[in-house]
Structure formats: C-alpha cells, structure tokens
A and B are shown apart, each in its own frame.
Chain A
C-alpha cells in the first residue's frame, strides 16, 4: 500500500517518486502546499475508495501517517 501512496503523493505534489520517502511531509517537500493537500485528499479517497473523517484530515501529514489513516478508514468502512 505504501508504494501506491508514494505514487499518488508524487503525482499530486508534483515531485518524483524518489523524493517521497516514508517521512516525506509538507515540511520536507515545499510544493506540498494546502491546495495540493486538498487534491491529495481527493486522489487518495478516489484511489482507495474511502472517506477520511474530519479528524483524519488534519493528520495526513506524511506517507506513514497517510498509511495509518487509510488503514483506520478501511477498518471503519
């Protein structure tokens, strides 16, 4: 799953997949701004068929965090 997440992050944030490590975040990738973050949410929800709840939206700040929230959202679904 993490590989697929990195793929989506790279595409939406506009960087190469090599730049997206497990700890990649808005702090390490300057182009990960709030607008791209919105697109990222839409893309992740489309790709994995989930909807994040409100609290989760504030916790999607890195690839590993995204993986955790995706797992939680799938378990809840």
Chain B
C-alpha cells in the first residue's frame, strides 16, 4: 500500500454521511473510512442499515437520505433468493440491487455508490456460476454508467487485487456473518472515500508535470533526446510510455496537461518530438520550461489556464520540488513519482483526483480549446518564499580537496554535465590526476546533503595559477543540485582556496556558450566579476584581487580538507 498523503494543514475536514445498505456485517468499514477520509479532507460518519435493507427502505416511514451518500454493499452469500441450487439467478440479484439504488435516490441520497459482487465464500467445489456473476456485475456497472448520480465501487476487482485468501475471511463469516477481511474493508473504504471526495467536488482539472524522470527516464539535458528512456520497446522506457498513455487518456477525458520543468526549452521540445513519445508539445495546454521556481510556475500556469490552484495536481520525481510546492501552495495536490519506475503507471492509476465518468464531447473539446486559446497570464505574487524554503531543507554543503579515489566520479561529472557547466571541458580522470599533482592547479570538490537525503558529489571547480590572474578552467554543478545556490558556495570557496595558496590575486572566469548551458551565461557577472572580453565563442570576466564572491548563508557550509570516509558511499 502506498503511504497516504498527510492532510493539508489549515484545510478543514468536510463531514460526509455515508449510509451502508447491506445484508451482512461490514461494520469495520466505519473505522477504515475515517482513516481513509482524513487523507482526503473528509470526515465520514458511517451508519448501517439493518440486515434487511429492503425492509428499511421500502417502508413508508423509512429513513431519509437527504444530502447523504448511500453505499449499496451486499454479500451474495447472504442473498438466498438469488440462488437456485448452485446457479446464480443474476436477474433476481440485479433486481434487488436496483431496488436499493432507486429507493436511496428516491429518498434524497445525493449519490449512490454501488458495489460489484465476488463469488461467495460458500461457493461449491469446482463451481462458481461465472457467466451469471459477470452478467450481474456488468449490469451493475451499467447502472453506474447510465446515471450520473450512481458510482461504481468495484469490490470484485479489489478482491482480485488482494487475492481471495487475503480478502475474504471464512472464520469471521462463520462466526459473525462478516465475509470481508480487515484488509478488504480498508481497500473498499479507500475507494469509497475517493469517490465521495470526487463527488463532493475535489476533482482536479489540470495535471502539471515535471519532465525528466517523470515523463521519461533520464535527464534530457544530460542524456540527449536519444538517450532518454520512453520507448515501449525499452524495459526502462516502458513504464514512462505507459504513464504518457495514461496522461493522454486523461486528456481525452477533459483533464488538461501542463509542463513545469527546469530545463532548456529546446531539450524538452526535442524530447517531446521523440518518435516514440506518446505525448507531443501540442498536448500541453500550458508550459513553463526554464529555471524558475516551480511554485511560481504553478501560479502562472493556473492563471494562464484560468483555473484555481486547487484544480492542480503537481507530479514530480523530486522529493524537494514536491515538498517545496506542498509548503508554498497547500491547495495544490502533489504526487511524487515512485522511485522504482515500474510502479509509476500502477500507482498513478490509484490517485484519487480524477473521476471515472466517460468524457462528454464538451470535456474533450475543453482541452483543445485551452491549447488553442493559450494566453499569457499576468504574474502572480502568491508564491512562497524561496529562501525560507531552502533554509527548511537543512542543507549541508561540503567543499573538499579531492584525492586520487575521487577522480573517477569527478571525471564522470565532467563528461556528463551539460547544463550548469561554464566551459564544458571534458576532463578525463588522467587530466584531473595531473591537475592534482601540479602546484599550479587547484581542484575542489563539492557534495551536498539535506533532510531528504544525500546528493553525494555534485560539482567541482578547477583553478590554475595563471599569469596575470588565477584562471577558473572548469566550474560545474550536477543538474541534481541546481537551484539551491550551491554553485555560489562552490565559487566562493574555490576562490578563497586559490588565494590562500597563491596570494590575493585577481580571478578570471570564462563562459563558453553551448546549446545547453544558457543558464550559466551571467553566473560570473552576478557573482561580482566584471565583464572583460565578449565574443560569440567566449566571454571572460575578472574578479578584482580585493573582492570576494558572495557566499550564501542558506545552508551549513563545511570546509573539509578531504572528503570524509563516511562519504565514500555517496558516489
């Protein structure tokens, strides 16, 4: 089972009254519904009919259901009139169910949740009237499809998911006429609460998606559009392909898709043009691809699409982005992509925010309309404080002197890092070993950790003594560590160490533009370096000998002479 999301703070629980029309003991549902409801901001109060609900309902002075939800949940075992020997009389059973549904609606129930049947615990050996059972469940599903007030709770499917051994409880059936296990009660309660929440209006209209490791496996800015995993024919890509198809189907049901990705726009466009991508750029009704804060992107997307923030579901693989959005925008539903990709489509299938009702023509058109009328929204100021958020991560950034055993990881970073890489020089391990041995070169490594875990070694700088000034030959930071001001600490600390070794000299930085490293264009300028030379192939900047680059105080900075032993596992 996936852990339930924590209820959002500051949002009250909505009381719902659930009345169960039943012919067996299902009382355990009350407590499970209370637990399942809390995660959906619902406080279900559950009551139960007598064991003969038809009598309750059909009598003129029977109960009223005004404003309540009615759950029709029956055990075939306890429906003797539906059996003729071991043949199931599905027409008779359906008539019993339909009578309850109609009576509940006639007595003012806001909606009726109707459960499917499974083979009874007491079915005879080698026989269960499968044809009649499937006909019965098919007709029940049709009741739900044909009446917007009726929703299907597919108990038979839940039993299939758990397996009969776990789902049914012969002992409690024998002793208490309680056929379902605790586990099945919990699964039914969760489905019921989701249905009630949707019907009470918690339906989300927009899915805002991260790109890397969400829509496809890998990082397009690093691996390139041909290196990412999204093909149906690639074991690593298959879950992402399935997820993309789920999203396309949601879009077909009128749910809007939007992109919020920290990437170069050209990279994302190339990935969406991948021949095997199920999603194309035109499937997204709004898109924010760049280096801005994601909470801010969500505010902009909601404004652009003309929906409230409480209509958004945000999907991202990063625990940090998810926490950031939860903290800044509590009304946005947040769903983190499972770490194991194969779980992605299965777990996404169980999110509570989208109705089962088939799309109307209007729904399908709505998605297209938004894409056609795409418009720029005004900047909203309702996003949270980025600095406070970064502080809440309790980051520890460690800057250290590499040793021989670090060179493989550092060389790998030099080969792979494209986005935050000032010069994109592909140093090999042998190159770095020469630098390490030289008196005229200084190599600095940086690693980071926060309360969500260790990022390990995430960047490096290589500085040479130079002639008129120290020269920063390489400065890079892994895309996993972007947007957290770690690069500023790396620069400040690298400059400090260079001056400690070679005296208070000016420091020169250079930016060699590539298709990927646009975000680093003004890095040195922002750090107090003065522009020196500017050509299309190279820009250089000079930091005067009496100036230090600013070092952010958003995290604890540890200066270590060497990477500690305990960090070996990081790489």
Residues on A lying within 8 angstroms of B by beta carbon are 34-35, 38-39, 42, 54, 57-58
Contact = CB atoms under 8 A, between A and B. Distances in A.
Given A38-B176, A42-B182, A54 B171 contact: yes
Contact of A57 (B25, B28, B175, B182): B175
B76 to A, nearest CB: 21
A23 B66 CA distance: 45
17 contacts: A34-B176, A35-B25, A35-B27, A38-B25, A38-B27, A38-B28, A38-B172, A38-B176, A38-B178, A39-B28, A42-B182, A54-B171, A54-B174, A54-B175, A57-B171, A57-B175, A58-B175
Interface string B175-194: 11010001000000000000
A65 B400 CA distance: 67
Contacts of A35: 25, 27
A7 to B, nearest CB: 19
Contacts of A34: 176
Interface in B277-312: none
Contacts of A57: 171, 175
B6 to A, nearest CB: 25
Nearest to B171: A54
Nearest to B30: A35
Given A38-B25, A54-B174, A54-B175, 7 more contacts: A34-B176, A35-B25, A35-B27, A39-B28, A42-B182, A57-B171, A58-B175
A35 B47 CA distance: 13
A39 B172 CA distance: 11
Contacts of B25: 35, 38
A58 B174 CA distance: 12
A26 to B, nearest CB: 14
A34 B176 CA distance: 8
Interface string B28-56: 10000000000000000000000000000
Nearest to A37: B176
A64 to B, nearest CB: 21
A34 B172 CA distance: 12
Contacts of B178: 38
Contacts of A39: 28
A-B pairs with the 10 shortest C-beta distances? A35-B27, A57-B175, A38-B176, A42-B182, A38-B178, A38-B172, A34-B176, A54-B171, A54-B174, A54-B175
Contacts of B27: 35, 38
A36 to B, nearest CB: 9
Nearest to A35: B27
B391 to A, nearest CB: 41
Nearest to B178: A38
Interface string B504-521: 000000000000000000
A34 B178 CA distance: 11
A32 to B, nearest CB: 14
A20 B278 CA distance: 63
B30 to A, nearest CB: 9
A39 B182 CA distance: 10
Interface string B14-28: 000000000001011
Contacts of B175: 54, 57-58
Nearest to A38: B176
A34 B27 CA distance: 11
A34 B1 CA distance: 29
B28 to A, nearest CB: 7
A54 B176 CA distance: 12
Contacts of B171: 54, 57
Contacts of A42: 182
A39 B27 CA distance: 10
